Amino acid sequence: MTVWGILLAAILTAAILFVPKAGLLALWNRFRSHRDRTRSEDALKHILAWRQRSGPASLESLAGSLRLSPSTVLHLATRLETAGWIQCGAAGIELTPAGERRALQVVRAHRLWERHLADDANMPIGRLHQAAERAEHSLTVSQVARLDAHLGHPQHDPHGDPIPSADGRVASLNAVCLNDWPVDMPGRIAHIEDEPDAVFRRILAAGLRPSQVVRVVEAHDASLRMQVEDAECVIDRALAINIHVSSARRDDLYPADAARLSDMRQGDSGEIIGMGPECTGFSRRRLLDLGLTPGASVQVVLDNTFGDPRAFRVRGTTIALRREQAEHVWVRPRESAARMEVSR
């Protein structure tokens, strides 16, 4: 009896440990291989980023960035060198061509995933980076290719960073640091650096978003006063280091006589001027398809008990939109449109 009991217990233990795919051993192996993949990929990314910023990376910079002990980093570096991805020389750690391709693949997965979360899941820009940091290590190359196709081969991630192509080409960013941008010249925010997180959050809190067309109203020694759509904000020059701007037309600035569709009252009407850059992906495409394109006239026709959503009459149909969508639609209210006609 006891013998059978022990035997049974032994078989059970063995099963729990060694069952393929679901056994504890298999789980441990999977955990370890995923951890190894995450570490290697993070290391390659770090070396790539470091090179672009300040030259070859070192074991110290690697340890600091990945928050690993020196011995673990040494072990990691040896493994990467054996795999043929890096070369440790006198100047520091360099990527081999194969290692660079691998690093760019990870960057590509990261930025596409951010694009996907922003466009398809409507995730706020402040949470994208964290989510993509996790996802980038579990996507396969073919999954990334499918994601790319599904998103319509986007060129930039939601922060404005160029997405590397499948064969590892990266478009260069033709942009100037906001601190060096002339006063009063309209500029499109081409890129907002998402690291360090605290700085990024303060920039977002000031109301700045990628793709917005902005204007520096006054430049001070320590700060910049800026026009951002229909608001003004003051931003420290220390934060402005992380913002890059490219040239834009004056027409792309938020017009002085414009209003947001969400701010119009029931019965008001106007002419659509355009749609803010924050409205992206499926949401933007659907609004365009419904006829909310520049030049269309629009009227607020229905409120409801809760005041949201509201219904608008556009191109002969009645469309209900939530406040968060209507606020991205810029409108020239009817009276001022009439005045414009006269002055012309």
- Using CB under 8 A as the binding rule, whether residue 315 contacts other proteins is answered as yes
- Using CB under 8 A as the binding rule, whether residue 156 contacts other proteins is answered as yes
Reported as half-sphere exposure (CB side, CA atoms, 13 A), residue 207 has a value of 13
Site for other proteins (CB under 8 A): which residue of 124, 231, 232, 335? Answer: 124
- Mapping DSSP to helix (H, G, I), strand (E, B) and coil, where does residue 42 land? helix
- Using CB under 8 A as the binding rule, whether residue 302 contacts other proteins is answered as yes
Site for other proteins (CB under 8 A): which residue of 83, 234, 288, 340? Answer: 288
- Using CB under 8 A as the binding rule, whether residue 82 contacts other proteins is answered as no
Which residue is listed with tokens 């056994």? 23
- Using CB under 8 A as the binding rule, whether residue 26 contacts other proteins is answered as no
Taking a C-beta distance cutoff of 8 angstroms, is the pair 62, 47 a contact?
yes
Q: Which stretch binds other proteins (CB under 8 A): 53-61, 106-114, 226-234, 295-303?
A: 295-303
- Token pair of 246, please? 């490219």
In the complex, the smallest distance separating the C-beta of residue 335 from other proteins, rounded to whole angstroms, is 22
* Helix and strand element counts for the chain (H, E): 12, 14
> Which residues does residue 233 pair with via DSSP β-bridges, in sequence order?
226
Contact letters for other proteins, residues 264-283 (x by CB under 8 A):
-----------x------xx
Q: Is 214 exposed, middle or buried (0-12, 13-18, 19+ CB in 10 A)?
A: buried
- Using CB under 8 A as the binding rule, whether residue 134 contacts other proteins is answered as no
117 Cβ partners below 8 Å, 6+ apart?
Answer: 123, 127, 128, 131, 132
- Using CB under 8 A as the binding rule, whether residue 303 contacts other proteins is answered as yes
Helix axes 2-18, 24-54, angle to 10 degrees: 20
Q: Which stretch binds other proteins (CB under 8 A): 21-29, 103-111, 286-294, 328-336?
A: 286-294
Q: Which stretch binds other proteins (CB under 8 A): 14-22, 37-45, 70-78, 154-162?
A: 154-162
Beta strand ranges found along 8-128 (DSSP E): 86-88, 93-95
Choose among 268, 267, 239, 252: nearest CA to 335.
268
- Using CB under 8 A as the binding rule, whether residue 204 contacts other proteins is answered as no
- Using CB under 8 A as the binding rule, whether residue 123 contacts other proteins is answered as yes
Q: Which stretch binds other proteins (CB under 8 A): 40-48, 217-225, 257-265, 307-315?
A: 307-315
Choose among 188, 179, 336, 151: nearest CA to 242.
179
| Closer of 48 and 287 to other proteins (Cβ) | 287
Site for other proteins (CB under 8 A): which residue of 318, 335, 339, 340? Answer: 318
Residues recorded for the chain: 344
Which residues of this protein are in contact with other proteins, per CB under 8 A?
Answer: 120-124, 149-150, 152-156, 165, 171, 211, 275, 282-291, 293-296, 301-309, 311, 314-322, 325
